[in-house]
Structure 1
């Protein structure tokens, strides 16, 4: 069986507000992507919506699974040194309530360390083509903070050949 892969990378700072909510990490499209041969992260999304600006649309953080199957999620986030005491991250199914309703998983809360704060995480779950996935982050600094690098990856092992 073919493994379906989408690998996204963000190589510019992205500001994350401190408003008590988790925020979708947004990723660029096209040549700025690491890998998306199965079309799981596109400007024209499967539900008919077209993204005008990836920097301002939370839809730019969605991966729409190309197949039903066992999904292996990986994320990397590097936080710029800041005034936070806690950093948070999680994966979320349908974070924008476009299909089945938001459902978070693999939530982590991490204490601040000196300097930049780089983290990686891995989680596995069943994925479905009509239910997009996102990597979300939060912090508690009292003012906006920046992530300076991020990656979000999905590898799908289909439950049956497409």
Structure 2
């Protein structure tokens, strides 16, 4: 069996500025750049072009997806850092993993967290079955009355096949 890893990173300082997340209860996919210096994707699970269609970061929602290369029992990891002011603007910050987030969505590992003073930094992991036919995404939301920025995020899939 071989180890398979897709490791994605968004860094506002390097990748064109923060990712604004609109106010409200709706969850939003976190997009990730392609071929970034800190990304690792030897199995091409986060391809900019898929099925002959280009999915540019960050404008295309498909730039948020990991497409597993095999069926397997996998482990998802995420790290999210919100802007420093988010602790004063929101009383709750939310995140979740999603299977098929642009189709028949199935969410898992949903967490709602109370905001604290300063920057909001969260990490999580979750194990699920993965399939090449079902893309995966990381989604975030908040209850502030204004848009809040994600300034750093990582999304990773690891499995053996």
Which residue pairs with 1:85 in the alignment? Answer: 91
With normalisation by structure 2, the TM-score equals: 0.91
Decide which structure has greater strand share. 2
Return the alpha-carbon distance in structure 2 between the equivalents of residues 9 and 124 of structure 1.
Answer: 20
Which residue pairs with 1:76 in the alignment? Answer: 79
Which residue pairs with 1:50 in the alignment? Answer: 54
The one of 45, 53, 66 aligned to 1:40: 45
Return the alpha-carbon distance in structure 1 between the equivalents of residues 114 and 133 of structure 2.
Answer: 35
Return the alpha-carbon distance in structure 2 between the equivalents of residues 126 and 22 of structure 1.
Answer: 22
2:64 corresponds to 1:61:
yes
Q: Secondary structure at the match of 2:69?
A: coil
Q: Where in structure 1 do 4 or more consecutive aligned residues deviate above 2 Å?
A: none
Q: Which runs of 5+ in 1 are unaligned?
A: none
2:132 corresponds to 1:126:
no
Return the alpha-carbon distance in structure 2 between the equivalents of residues 33 and 68 of structure 1.
Answer: 25
CA contact (8 A) 2:82 2:119 kept: yes
Return the alpha-carbon distance in structure 2 between the equivalents of residues 34 and 6 of structure 1.
Answer: 8
CA contact (8 A) 2:24 2:144 kept: no
**Residue 49 of structure 1, CA deviation:** 2.6
Q: Secondary structure at the match of 2:118?
A: coil
With normalisation by structure 1, the TM-score equals: 0.91
